Structure 1
Amino acid sequence: MTSTNTPKTFPLNLPEGDADLLLDELQTRLREGRRLAAEVGQILAEIESRGVRGLFGHNSIAVFYEHVARVPRAEAQKVTRRALALNSRRARDGTSTQPVAPLTGVAAATGALAEAGIDRIVTVMRKLPEHVAANVRLDEEKNLVDLASVARPRDVTMAGTDLLARLDPDGSSTEDPTPKRERSEFWLRQKRTGRWDMRGNLDPETGARLTALLVPRAYPASGVEADSRTPAERRGDAFTEIVELAESGPDIPLPRQAPQQATEEPRATDPAKKPAPRPKATQARSQGYPSPHRSDGGVRDGSAPERSQNVAQRRPTRWWARLSRQRSENATQPQKPLTA
């Protein structure tokens, strides 16, 4: 009986049984891929020199590469850091920024170095102290490049550790021995959808004060059979309430107005008409959930600009005192641990 099984053809149509030929073809394609990756880095460095925001509208070269290459943010940052460390680029004022590892960039353009070896060489070159002469830096970098072209990345790391121990045995730390005060940090950016993303790093005192204001207002709404909000949504509504109360305080500066609005004379109020009731900042927040700490349960009226303009006409108590005042008896809350 004749077999119907046909042998599978190798994609490159290479003859079977020749191990040296397979190894040579593999190394050839590895070098070609690394060479193309180095050229990508050169293009990224040139885009950074010309200004990625002016060319493509992105805030950084990493964000640009993330969208173009369709890779995760961490990988995009790694690729762009490597590109800027191996290639020279021009600054906005016309000055030239030299690469951290110039010889490594030349070797990478030939495809002789793997990405992991390049990263380890760049790490060592960044840690070299400033008192090392330029010719010594080039010689030591050349030794690392020659090693990385034939050895594994872990061998490059070991050689770099020995190099740093020899050139900088005491370490290059210039930190003040006295403890440095860590200041609070806060990041706020608006996304393309219009919503805002917040991230912060607060000191213990500020974090405790914020928690004391946030947690009591993040309890499930009282008088409602089922509060469908998630804990994160309740904390978001509580933070919105704190912002509204802080905005109505007398110490908050008024928003800047246009020149024509600043010079406009105030209109006379018609005595026959009574002014509309001023909206309260402590009324219910959005999504139809009344505050569990207020007894009115009404819906907030008026926009944010109107509330800001009313600040100059009224002088309520300080917003901190309003946040810390005793709650009404009809809105008692269960005793829960202060965890947001």
Structure 2
Amino acid sequence: MLDTNSTSTTPGTLPKGYQEVLYDKINKPLRIIVLQILSIPLFVVFGLIFLNVAIGMGKLPSRIQIGLTGMILLLAGTILTLVLHELTHGVVMRMFGAKPRYGVLWKQAMFYATTPGYAYRRNDYLLITLAPLSILSILVILGMWFVQGTLWVALFAICGTINASGAIGDIWISIIVLRYTSTAYVMDERDGIRVFLPNLEVRKKGIQNSLAQPFWKRIAFIRFLHTAIFVFFNIVMAVLLYEVVADKISILTWIALAFFAIEVIVLIANNWTCPLTIYAEKLESYRGQTTDIFFLPKWFGDRMFIFYGGLLVFGLLLLVIRLLT
């Protein structure tokens, strides 16, 4: 645990009497998997938002054809969006007196902007984390307005969606930081964040270092997250089955199938076991039993893949029949 008695008020340094209460690493394998899963619904939501904005403005071209040039523009736009996302972080960091460093985490395929050892006030750090989501989204909408009636509208909408869904890590960090009072200071590291609080506040609230946090808090979080994902996929399954049974196949049908394709890929990569279940079992292994989804009986949890796999196969077969007839 880091304890500082510095009396300096220089920007970027901790005031006297602050100590570290959290070192949260965002590049943990499980954390990355969770964030990738959470980015999917965010991608869909913001995709629909930008699509509706374009339609509402009447700026969509009457016809969209994507050839080789379009694919190249899409790839270039995606890379440029990711770079601009981190540059926006960096610009706001400079506004608070820091000198950001930029780079790439090749293992995680992530760009980053960071200022190791530089302490920000909590509210200042929140502005830094949420700047790309807010600023670039506004610029995307303005861009769509300027290039009305051209293929660039679709490209702007796609780039805006990629930027928004890619901000899931920023949203995650913001939620963590908001747990602490406005007196907190935050340091942005290449692999995560460090949070500092006044010694008096730490003693009063009995806050512990994150490494010593009770395991039950982690279990509760995993159960909440897993339950949310479980409910989400039940809704997706309901949409898929309704559309194929009622013969009302639409874009929602294909979105539902895309979600299930991603889920299957994740399961195959983890030997047909949900990575959240694996983590929950590791945390509670000494108890001999783990039920990491709220309200779900263990007997059903053990047969869940058979039940939902059967429903998915039924939906796929019926979809094929509908398409052929």
More helix by share: 2
TM-score by length of 2: 0.23
Structure 1 or 2, whichever has the larger Rg, is: 1
TM-score by length of 1: 0.22
